[in-house]
């Protein structure tokens, strides 16, 4: 069975990479033939050359480290606050039913528009990025923590009570381990949305990181370099997603 899953994954990877290669080839032909202006989309070969120059001159790895550090800081703060809040909404059922819809609506709202408010309150620096990233990350963690605890099978709770577990022991030995896969789904959503929010704010405020790198290249009207920086952002997003996906798969199998 595992061999079949690996083969299916390999086939999916081949199809995905093949489709990407075809799109890159079509883009190269379209730009070279003049069907698409180089001011709109540079040729993929120009983007590759700009990528090499980017690593030689702009130090994008330092920018990526800054972006990752800011994202992880916001995610860590969101987990530290979101999991206890989700537990409170599960523990106090009336409050959970009352606030779940509000939190869902807030999660769907464009929170990035609040950045001028925090910019005035906290200044143009790390604090604004941290609060905006936290605001993006905390809501799905709260909602998924409550959902995971609600979905714990009642038989497990009865088993814990039959062993006379205290509330603290019940939480750490039964509730959280059982709800962990669902909670991690919320963390996975938070990671992706927070990374997008942090990069967007870095771009808007020119606060360094990958977003600031894209903004600098855009201001210099370096179109191939701008696309190369965007490709780096996409690569970082894919790596982030795959790491979180692997951790979630490990939690489900353990």
Mean pLDDT of the chain: 82
Residue 5 has pLDDT above 60, yes or no: no
The CATH superfamily holding the domain 42-253 is MetI-like (1.10.3720.10)
pLDDT of residue 47: 83
Question: 42 vs 47, 148, 163, 207, 215, CA distance in Å?
Answer: 7, 46, 67, 26, 17
**pTM over the 0.85 mark:** no
pLDDT of residue 254: 60
Q: Using an 8 Å Cβ cutoff, are 111 and 138 in contact?
A: no
Written as six digits, the tokens of 159 are 């088993």
Q: In this predicted model, what pLDDT tens digit does every residue of 161-170 receive, in sequence order?
A: 877 777 788 8
Q: In this predicted model, what pLDDT tens digit does every residue of 142-179 receive, in sequence order?
A: 999 988 888 888 888 787 787 777 778 888 888 888 88
Report how far residue 65's alpha carbon sits from residue 83's, in angstroms, rounded to the nearest whole number: 26
Query: Which of 107, 75, 81, 76 lies closest to 192, judged by CA?
Result: 75
Domain ranges of the chain: 1-41, 42-253
Report how far residue 215's alpha carbon sits from residue 5's, in angstroms, rounded to the nearest whole number: 42
Q: In this predicted model, what pLDDT tens digit does every residue of 108-119 receive, in sequence order?
A: 777 777 777 777
Q: 55-64, 113-122, 209-218: lowest mean pLDDT where?
A: 113-122
Beta strands in 34-171 (DSSP E): none
Report how far residue 172's alpha carbon sits from residue 1's, in angstroms, rounded to the nearest whole number: 33
206 conformational bin, left if phi > 0, alpha if psi -120 to 50, beta if neither:
left
Kindly tell me the burial class for residue 72, based on how many C-beta atoms sit within 10 Å of its own C-beta (0-12, 13-18, 19 or more): middle
């Amino acid at each position: 069975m595992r061999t079949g899953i690996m083969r299916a994954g390999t086939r999916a990877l081949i199809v995905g990479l093949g489709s990407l290669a075809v799109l890159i080839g079509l883009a190269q032909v379209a730009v070279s033939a003049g069907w698409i202006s180089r001011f709109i989309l540079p040729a993929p070969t120009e983007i590759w050359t700009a990528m090499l120059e980017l690593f030689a001159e702009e130090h994008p790895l330092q920018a990526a480290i800054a972006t990752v550090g800011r994202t992880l800081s916001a995610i860590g703060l969101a987990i530290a606050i979101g999991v206890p809040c989700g537990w409170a909404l599960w523990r106090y059922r009336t409050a959970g039913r009352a606030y779940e819809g509000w939190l869902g609506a807030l999660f769907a709202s464009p929170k990035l528009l609040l950045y001028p408010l925090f910019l005035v309150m906290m200044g143009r620096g790390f604090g604004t990025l941290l609060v905006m990233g936290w605001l993006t990350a905390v809501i799905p963690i709260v909602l998924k923590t409550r959902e995971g605890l609600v979905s714990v099978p009642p038989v497990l709770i009865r088993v814990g009570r039959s062993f006379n577990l205290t509330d603290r022991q019940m939480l750490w030995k039964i509730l959280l381990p059982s709800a962990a896969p669902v909670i991690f789904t919320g963390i996975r959503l938070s990671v992706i949305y927070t990374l997008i929010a942090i990069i967007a704010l870095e771009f808007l405020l020119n606060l360094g990181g990958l977003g600031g790198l894209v903004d600098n290249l855009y201001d210099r009207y370096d179109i191939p370099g701008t696309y190369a920086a965007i490709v780096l952002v996409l690569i970082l997003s894919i790596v982030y997603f795959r790491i979180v996906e692997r951790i979630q798969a490990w939690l489900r199998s353990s």
